[in-house]
Homo-oligomer: A and B are copies of this chain.
Amino acid sequence: MMDDRKAAILRAVVECYIREAQPVSSAHVTELGNLGVSPATVRNDMAVLEQEGYLLQPHASAGRVPTDKGYRFFVDSLAGPAPLGPAQAELVRMFFARTHGELEHLLHETSELLSKLTDYAAVVVAPNAPEPGRVRSFQLVKLSRRVVLALAVLGNGAVERRSLELPADIEEAQVQQASAALAASLVGSHLERAGSMPRTGDVAVDNLMSMTLQALRKPDPDAAEHVFVGGAARMAAAFDAVSTIRQVLGILEQQFVLVSLLKDVLDRGLSVAIGTEHGLAPLADCSVVVAPYDVDGERAGTVGILGPTRMHYDQAMTAVAVVSKQLTKALSEGGGSGRRTRQKATAEAPVPASPGPAPAGAGRGAARGPRFEGNGHG
């Protein structure tokens, strides 16, 4: 059904189309595919590939163009991890060497890095759960008669804050009492494991404490899912229809949709979703490459890129994998969102450079699991 030659032809068509964005003819394939057969033979095979749904002809006398299914086969049959080019490897190295500062800032810049690496739009989803780690410090601050601010500094330096609106006025002394009691109970333990507080006898204080615990346990409603999008302009270059650009931009602006999209793709065990494989109609001409990153061993967020279906999958996948890997490293080693001390990452786990057999398995490993389990080319 899919002998070696047909596979080779399909691959050649996809590669060529990705490069040139134009229908690929049988002659073109024979030139580039260095399989020793004539165009006529290729034509026959291409006809079959079209019947099987891997290719299609825009019109009768044109070359062939890959379908989503064709891209899927191509991606699934990608084996060699395209190593990063030297210039790109350098970019990554530089970036993670000088990594520091606030989490948000880092993630924002990461989205730009990823976009620069791939020339597509990059998406970085921030960790949604309150970052783990023991509570280092806790405090309530009274802001106005009925508004109290709760501040917790976590082990990694992240600051969780919640503002509480009380049902009734409260005294400064009461706030302080609750603050002290909560601090005594919380500091040194984990936020999510915080149990209920003993009664103090003062109903206002008890109420404040239980509200605080409740608020701390669920994620910050304001923070929502923080998403960083980088390089939308680059994405625009990959399409030529203005309407397509509009639609894609529209999606990129809907943070919730974006997050769902990436999450959905990951949940299905994929690292690449091609064309209509993800459900979003406006992105029918787009593919998505994703990888999760971890913080302290727990899956925390997602990085991904969004480009045209005719994207450079190998490079994109490598870039995403490398960045997610490095991000995991950067976030786990030096500490979380507080100031991270300077990384030794460059020395320890070299970014795969271009030449040679390349220790690229390192960068790839994380993504390899999910990568080949597509609802493939059946």
Contact = CB atoms under 8 A, between A and B. Distances in A.
A341 to B, nearest CB: 7
A249 interface: yes
A105 B153 CA distance: 21
Contact of A136 (B104, B143, B236, B335): B143
A250 interface: yes
Contacts of A156: 143
Contacts of A164: 339
Q: How many copies does the complex hold?
A: 2
Given A161-B159, A233-B249, A249-B232, A147 B341 contact: yes
A9 B251 CA distance: 42
Interface stretch (A46-54, A238-246, A322-330): A238-246
A180 interface: no
Chain A interface, DSSP helix/strand/loop, else mixed: mixed
B151 A151 contact: yes
A231 interface: yes
Contact of A341 (B102, B146, B151, B338): B146
Contact of A157 (B143, B157, B230, B249): B143
A242 B153 CA distance: 47
B146 A141 contact: no
Given A240-B242, A245-B242, A341-B146, A159 B153 contact: no
A222 interface: yes
Contact of A147 (B142, B157, B231): B157
B231 A236 contact: no
A324 to B, nearest CB: 22
A163 interface: yes
A245 B242 CA distance: 9
Interface in A67-96: none
A137 B136 contact: no
A246 B164 CA distance: 44
A242 B252 CA distance: 17
Contact of A101 (B147, B222, B231, B338): B222
A226 B12 CA distance: 46
A144 interface: yes
A149 interface: yes
A253 B232 contact: yes
Interface in A171-224: 221-224
A105 B222 contact: yes
B144 A149 contact: no
A146 B339 CA distance: 10
Contact of A144 (B161, B253, B335): B335
Contacts of A247: 233
A237 interface: yes
A139 interface: yes
Given A245-B245, A339-B147, A253 B230 contact: yes
15 contacts: A101-B221, A143-B156, A143-B157, A143-B335, A144-B341, A147-B335, A147-B341, A149-B157, A149-B159, A164-B339, A165-B341, A230-B253, A236-B246, A239-B242, A245-B245
Interface of A: 101-102, 104-105, 136-137, 139, 141-144, 146-147, 149, 151, 153, 156-157, 159, 161, 163-165, 221-224, 230-233, 236-237, 239-240, 242, 245-247, 249-250, 252-253, 335, 338-339, 341
Across the A-B interface, the 5 shortest Cβ-Cβ residue pairs: A163-B339, A233-B249, A233-B250, A102-B222, A101-B222
Given A136-B141, A149-B157, A230-B253, 11 more contacts: A101-B221, A105-B222, A143-B157, A151-B153, A231-B253, A232-B252, A233-B253, A237-B246, A242-B245, A245-B245, A249-B249
